[in-house]
Amino acid sequence: MFKQIREDIRSVFHRDPAARNAFEVLTAYPGLHAIWFHRMANALWRRDFKWLARIISNIARWLTGIEIHPGATIGRRFFIDHGMGVVIGETAEIGDDVTLYHGVTLGGTTWNKGKRHPTLGNNVVCGAGAKVLGPITIGAGARVGSNAVVTRDVPEEATVVGIPGRIIKRHPEEETPEELKRRQMADKVGFDAYAVTREVSDPVAHAIRCLLDHMQAMDHKVDTMGKALCELKPGYCDEQLPELKSEDFEAAVDDVSGMPSTESEAGGASSDDQKGRQNESVK
């Protein structure tokens, strides 16, 4: 038992940079307390002391804000960070080295008895507010984004986000040539390629994806035209376009993010005045 407790404490230090010493972890981490209460409740549940197991589970919920059904199966080095609002159902199965953040629900979608809660493989991470529902399987090493609602199986090492959950990252070998070109273009212009795959339902991400495709096509066309011009006029090849550097845009990004968003923040200026200034800047 003490060996397992030491293992739990080490897992906290591995996954929470805010942890300072073992005494603090032992006394001030409700995620650990909930897991220890669950182990007692689960031992009683398996020995058919159902009522007593549920009482211990309720006490743990009152003390920690984390509700784990005593029938749930949990592996080693399980870590709940912050923990408030976490709910784990009776038939949930959790592998080793799994991390859950606050507000995560491993819930069911039916009132029928039997397996009705999810199974999480080893090294799975569920972001804050994620809802994983039904008797589905989250593959080993998968990542569930914050506030995602997942109702279908997720393959190993994949990342899923959104409502309903959409897979935005698979194994590198599963990427299509078009997606690889899009990623290269995103890297070239300094854009974070997160959520630019065709599987994302976000309309903004879809628009950015279309822009990246267009820019890639334009780049190819300009290169072709440049080669043709070089054949006609060799001196043309010596003309180079200025390189775009990310640091050249940092100040502009900071200025935009610091602009006032309301009339009061803008010093009481009217909307007509603001529109006039915007039109002047465009001109």
Segment 33-90, tens digit of pLDDT: 899 999 999 999 999 999 999 999 999 999 999 999 999 999 888 988 888 889 999 8
CATH T-level fold of 2-171: UDP N-Acetylglucosamine Acyltransferase; domain 1 (2.160.10)
**Among 73-77, 121-125, 217-221, 275-279, the least confident range:** 275-279
pLDDT in tens, 23-40: 888 888 888 889 999 999
Exposed/middle/buried for residue 181 (C-beta within 10 Å: 0-12, 13-18, 19+): middle
Residue 23: both structure tokens together: 């005494």
Q: Which pairs with CB-CB distance under 8 Å and at least 24 residues apart come from 227-235?
A: none
Residue 249 has pLDDT above 50, yes or no: yes
Query: E strands, the chain, where?
Result: 67-68, 73-74, 79-80, 87-88, 93-94, 99-100, 105-107, 119-120, 125-126, 131-133, 137-138, 143-144, 149-150, 159-161, 166-169
What does the pLDDT read at residue 204?
Answer: 65
- Residue 132, SS3 per DSSP: strand
The amino acid sitting at 49 is F
What does the pLDDT read at residue 238?
Answer: 64
Mean pLDDT of the region 256-278: 45
The amino acid sitting at 91 is T
Point out which residues pair with 133 in neighbouring strands: 107
